[in-house]
Amino acid sequence: MSLRHRLVRPANWLRRRLRASEAAFVVLAIGIGGAAGALSVVQGAIARTLQHWFFALPGTSRLSAQPGLSLGTLIVLPIGGAVLALFTLATRARRRAMVDTVEANALHGGRMGIADSFVISGQTILSNGFGASVGLEAAYAQLGGAVASLTGGLLNLRRPDLRNLVGAGAGAAIAAAFGAPLAGAFYAFEIVIGAYTPSAIAPIAAATLSAVLVSQTLGAHPYVVEAASGAATETHHYIAYAALGATCAGIGIVLMRSVASLEQGVRRLRIPDWARPAIGGALLVPIALISPQVLSAGHGALHNDLMAGTSIRFIAMIFICKCLASIVSLGFGFRGGLFFASLFLGTLAGTLFATALTAVAGFQIIDPHNAAIVGMAALGVAVIGGPMTMAMLVLEATHDFGLTGAAIAASLVSSTIVRELFGYSFSTWRLHLRGETIKSARDVGWVKTLTAGRMMRGETRETPTTTTIAEFRRRFPLGSASKVVLIDGKTHYAGIVRTPDAYGEALDPAACVASVAVNTDAALKPDMDIKQVMTAFDASGADELAVLAADRTVLGVLSETYVRRRYAEELEKAQRELFGER
């Protein structure tokens, strides 16, 4: 027996076990979680090592916690931009766009490329390691999801199982980074899977716990938000925290739009791709001279500002500078995300909000420390999404259920306003700018695969428009065909004739059949997905429409009845998968 056959038989047995047994799937998720946790530790260690090398940091200190850096040291920023550009050029062999975890689960059934994921991770580590104002969370989730996708692909898992496994891998990576298994689990549900699926609860919980255990075993220092809550949270405080949530929603929308606007402006300036990160690094230098707190993700700065009594003027200055640094970093081509930056900015916004309320009222309404934590959650939700993700992060950081309730209230207000006025999180907003229409990781890939070209009926019985009604009646007796497609002299589509219409008593038998044609302008393109097809049927009022190539030659015919039946079937199938019917 060949080696291939020896490997295939155990793989087939394992695949059957995973499909039949939820316990076996949980065991697989534990392994994925451990691998994701280990990869997060490695990536974080590499980025911190680069920062210590390039910025000569003492001991185990963080870059954003430094009291000040010289101009000579900050020259690392434009150099890092140039290195990132070289790395990007060296890995630009792929013609297609690289897929992240959210896009993979929304459009591709959880399928991710491992090579692309390593490129994304490398770009993010270089950006963060050279001090750009971006976080590593995107890289953590990318490799965690990629390992899960690769494993699930090798085992040929079903689409819903693969999506759940990718969510488990990404959530486990975030859990390991923050030392927060609950936050990691809800990150998987809200950000990567896009729904709370009963079939995913056990494997995702097991994966996040496994990741945290592995990271702690490896001696990693997670990004725990060490914050003690202040005064007790009372019922009337919720009104103030709701207003803070609304404020953070506005800040988040402005921040995300500013990144996109700067990125588009840089492209309009026709700056070469290789020069953009270097220029961005140079623009970061004067901002970092004001305070190094704007560099990297901001872990050290967040800890210092929460634990130390920092002046309000300094906090306001850091808030503005951190916003500018994040916008410049992402707008000029550094790779990374706004996950931790939004948490850092949220603490600053919460502190400023509480101080402003005190100044207006003449007495303290809400505790500034509590407001900082609630602001962290509210701005995190505005930018990243996931109200329960941020709420669990607050709970695991403070162990204060009252404050967690306030964070949930502010997060829900923030989330509602962002959805209503903006409609996207930062990750889906960038996909929108690329031409995608997804607003979450909810599985819509099946919608995009059901195209008019795949659903159409190939035979069309095409007839020239010059055919007389008498000839048409001879060729198509009543009952032989319900509809006939017409083509002109250049074989281009010219409409559809409903066969009974050609048998009207008032018609001249010598007239051309084109006189009774309908839907001469209404037609479908082969790449239209099923929702676009149904919209076209609604707009035209037709029962059947032709599918046309770019040159208006007829490819096939599609009926509304068939389209709506297929949509109902696929929707029912997706619902069964959502609720875990194995």
Give the model confidence (pLDDT) of 142-182 as tens digits. Answer: 999 999 999 998 888 888 888 899 999 999 999 999 989 99
pLDDT given for residue 97 in this prediction: 65
Give the other-Cβ count within 10 Å of 332's Cβ.
23
Q: Which whole number is the average pLDDT over 52-69?
A: 85
**Residue 53 contacts residue 80 (beta carbons within 8 Å):** no
Question: Nearest CA to 555 among 498, 487, 502, 501?
Answer: 487
Write out the E strands in 245-299.
Answer: none
The sign one gets for the Cα dihedral 375, 376, 378, 383 is positive
Rounded Cα gap, residues 438 and 302, in angstroms: 32
How does pLDDT run across 476-517, given as a tens digit for each residue? 888 777 788 888 877 888 888 888 888 888 888 888 888 888
Label residue 227 by pLDDT band (50, 70, 90).
low
Task: Give, as one character, the DSSP assignment of residue 435.
Answer: T
More confident site: 530 or 371: 371
Give the lowest-confidence range in 75-84, 201-210, 526-535.
Answer: 526-535
Whole-model pTM over 0.85:
no
Any idea what DSSP says for residue 529?
B
pLDDT band at 5 (very low <50, low <70, confident <90, very high): very low
Q: Alpha-carbon distance 496 to 488, whole Å?
A: 12
Structure tokens at 212: 């945290």
Query: Which letter does DSSP use for residue 497 in this model?
Result: E
Across the strands, what pairs with 238?
none
The sign of the torsion formed by the CA atoms of 91, 150, 451, 567 equals: negative
CA separation for the pair 473, 510 (Å, rounded)? 11
The proportion of the chain whose per-residue pLDDT surpasses 90, expressed as a percent, equals: 40
Residue 15 pLDDT > 80: no
What confidence tier does 459 reach under pLDDT thresholds 50, 70, 90? low
Question: Both tokens of residue 346?
Answer: 């949220």
- Region 266-271: mean pLDDT is 87
- Average per-residue pLDDT in the chain? 84
Question: Residue 497 corresponds to which tokens in the numbers above?
Answer: 């004739």
Nearest to 439 by CA among 428, 427, 426: 428
The confidence score (pLDDT) of residue 229 equals 56
Provide the Cα torsion 551, 557, 559, 564; round to 10°. -70
Extract the tokens encoding 476. 């198509």
Distance between CA 514 and CA 486 in Å, rounded? 7
Residue 215 pLDDT more than 50? yes
pLDDT at 286 over 90: yes
Dihedral of CA atoms 157, 162, 164, 167 in degrees, nearest 10, equals: 150
Q: pLDDT band for position 431 (50/70/90)?
A: low
- The whole-number pLDDT of residue 485 equals 86
500-504: list long-range contacts, CB under 8 Å, 24+ apart. 502/469, 502/472, 502/473, 502/476, 503/473, 503/478
In three-state secondary structure terms, 138 is helix
Alpha helical stretches, state H, 159-236? 159-178, 181-187, 198-217
What sign does the dihedral 423-425-426-430 (CA atoms) show?
A: negative
pLDDT at 252: 94
* Beta-sheet strands, E only, within 388-448: none
Where does residue 308 rank: exposed (0-12), middle (13-18), buried (19+ CB within 10 A)?
exposed
Domains of the chain as residue ranges with CATH: 3-224 (1.10.3080.10), 237-433 (1.10.3080.10), 446-573 (3.10.580.10)
Render pLDDT for 530-574 as a digit per residue (tens, 0 to 9): 778 888 888 887 888 888 888 888 888 888 888 888 777 776 666
Closest CA to 346 of 424, 437, 410: 410
Residue 78 has pLDDT above 90, yes or no: yes
226: confidence class by pLDDT, cuts 50, 70, 90: low
Query: In the prediction, which pLDDT does 56 show?
Result: 87
**Whole-angstrom Cα distance, residue 294 to residue 494?**
63
Q: Is residue 470 predicted with pLDDT exceeding 80?
A: yes
